[in-house]
Amino acid sequence: MAAPSSAAFPDSAAQSAVEAETPDPDITPAEAVEQSRKLIINATPKITEGVIVQAKEGSYLHARMLFDFAGLTAVQPPEAASVSPVLEVLMKELEKPLLKPALS
C-alpha cells in the first residue's frame, strides 16, 4: 500500500505520522496486536484526560464511558420483574390466610 501523496498532507508532521503508521509487511499479526496494545496502553492516560475534559463540559456519553471504565454506576437498573409490582403485591396478599371476623 503506497503512502499518501504530500499534497494530501500539507503539514509535514501529519505526513510523517501517516508514513510511520504504514503497515510493515514483515510483522506477524501477533506482533501487530502486541505493538497496538502497547501503544494503546501508553496513550490511555492522555485519552482519559481528554475524555474527562469532555465529560466536564457536559457530555453524557463521555461521562458514562468514564463511569463504566472505572466500574462506577450512579444507579443500578431495576431487575426485570416477571410480573408488575401491583400484581406482585396482590399475589402476596392472596397467599396470606384469610382473617376471620371476630363475632361479638
- Cell matching residue 99: 382473617
**At 33, phi and psi to the nearest 5?**
-65, -45
pLDDT tens digits for range 52-76: 999 999 999 999 999 998 888 756 6
pTM, entire model: 0.45
Smallest Cα–Cα separation from 44: which of 27, 65, 22? 65
Q: What is the pLDDT of residue 1?
A: 44
Average pLDDT, the chain: 78
Q: What is the pLDDT of residue 12?
A: 64
Q: Give me the mean pLDDT over the 16-30 stretch.
A: 74
Q: Give me the mean pLDDT over the 3-11 stretch.
A: 51
Burial of 54: CB neighbours in 10 Å, binned 0-12, 13-18, 19+:
middle
d(Cα 94, Cα 59) in Å, to the nearest integer?
48
